[in-house]
Chains A and B, each alone.
Chain A
Amino acid sequence: MKLKQLESLLGNLQQFDNPKIELEQYPTGAHIASRMLYTAENSYGDVSDKVVADFGCGCGTLGLAATLLDAEHVIGVDVDDDSLEIASINADDLEVEMGLIQCQINNLNWRGQIVDTVVMNPPFGTRKKGADMEFLSVALKVASQAVYSLHKTTTREHIKRAALRDYNASSAEVICEVHILIHILLLYHNFDMICQNYTNFTRKKTLILLWTYGDLFLNQNNNLLHEKDIDVDF
């Protein structure tokens, strides 16, 4: 699927009617969601044929993007039943299957190494201090390969440090900075895990990160500067 097609499908999804401020329910826009998952798939192979979990899935945008990119099994987790209902309607509209679970992220108790990839747009922790770190900590425990997460620019260094020091991430890279949306896309890769299968992957990945950063940089009109480059299959 082309990036534009993915973005357009996600753009039609139903979003929150009445966002709950205490849960920091800001929607994940189709623009960033499509690029996040497209990069995860086309640069890192973390989506198709994988088991993907969407933490704090809200209306399901990220998880549904994963299903559209042929993830084999996608599970959205959210605490709020109104959100889960919208996510369920969105999945039906797209005619895809997305499993949903109502649970608090810090109370998840998942067995085994079944989940490959976690994608999430967690609360920034502006309402409940540390909520973003709780999400990260659990995500890095559950994912056997990678966590893709959106964070506020000002928490960037703190999050990188904590991921490496406290949560056993083997690397933490900023792969995309979207100034307009004050979001930063961080990528955590469990290199130990990946290196068992792809011995030369570490170095290759570092190069890709730099390149991706340039490719996804936005200008002031929120347009991608080098959009055509994203279709390049690397």
Chain B
Amino acid sequence: MRLLTHNMLSSNIKGVINGFPLRIEVEKVIEKQVDFNPDFLKNMFSKIDWKALADASKIMGYAELPEEVPDASVLDSDEFLQKFHHALLELHLEEGALVCPETGRRFPVNKGIPNMLLHEDEV
């Protein structure tokens, strides 16, 4: 699971108000190289939740992103875009879990696939 996916997932349990971002429990992280697409990254920059991405990448062992939302002028820097690219698209949570920040409910991640199925009493 890429961190771009993590950036849009939130706890879907009924009644949960602050279900985002899901806390990541890491068992195994893998990296898969993909082509660098600066235009895509510039477009994504305004759509993603920066803090969630920076925190998630740090937990995954990549601490190169600034913790606070950077000014949009950083998008002119190739070095910044490369780091953003790596965190957003190349880091994968292969094994571990996503944890609801409000209830502590764990959603397991196996072979890179998060299981977000809810139990009957959660819908």
Contacts and interface: CB of A to CB of B under 8 A. Distances in A.
Contacts of B48: 112, 114
A99 B37 contact: no
Q: How big is the B interface, by class? A: 20 to 34
B113 A88 contact: yes
B37 A114 contact: no
B114 A101 contact: yes
B8 A101 contact: no
Contacts, number: 76
Contacts of B47: 112-114
24 contacts: A49-B39, A49-B40, A72-B89, A73-B4, A73-B89, A79-B117, A99-B2, A100-B112, A100-B113, A101-B1, A102-B113, A104-B118, A107-B12, A107-B117, A107-B118, A107-B123, A108-B116, A110-B10, A111-B20, A111-B49, A113-B47, A114-B4, A114-B7, A114-B8
A45 to B, nearest CB: 13
A111 B37 contact: no
A61 B110 CA distance: 22
Contact of A111 (B8, B34, B113, B115): B8
Which 9 pairs show the lowest CB-CB distances between chains A and B? Answer: A109-B12, A103-B116, A102-B115, A100-B113, A110-B8, A114-B8, A72-B40, A107-B12, A99-B5
A85 to B, nearest CB: 8
A232 to B, nearest CB: 26
- Listed residue (B12, B20, B32) with the most chain A CB atoms within 10 angstroms of its CB: B12
Interface residues of A, number: 24
Interface of A: 49, 51, 72-73, 75, 79, 84, 88, 97, 99-104, 107-115
Interface string B95-123: 00000000000000001111111100001
B37 A101 contact: no
Most buried by A among B40, B89, B116: B116
Nearest to A77: B116
Contacts of B7: 111-112, 114
Contacts of A100: 112-113
A111 B107 CA distance: 17
Given A102-B113, A107-B12, 6 more contacts: A99-B112, A100-B112, A104-B117, A111-B8, A112-B49, A114-B48
